[in-house]
Amino acid sequence: MTLQEAIRILMLSPCYWRLQPRARMILVREYCASYEAISRKFPARPRKERLS
């Protein structure tokens, strides 16, 4: 996940706007780190092809 994607998601939260800019950046970095940890634990699997 890129920083821009994380910011786009977090901007939907009213809590995001109450934070100071420095705290927002920390939140964005933590969000990206947690996303990376989850994506490493559960890698995307390719879809099985359907037989017609």
pLDDT digit string (tens) for 9-20? 999 999 999 999
Residue 23: pLDDT above 80? yes
**7-13: long-range contacts (C-beta < 8 A, 24 or more apart)?**
none
pLDDT band for position 7 (cuts 50, 70, 90) = very high
Distances 16 to 5, 24, 41, 49 between C-alpha atoms, Å: 14, 7, 27, 41
Residue 39: pLDDT above 90? no
pLDDT band for position 27 (cuts 50, 70, 90) = very high
pLDDT band for position 52 (cuts 50, 70, 90) = low
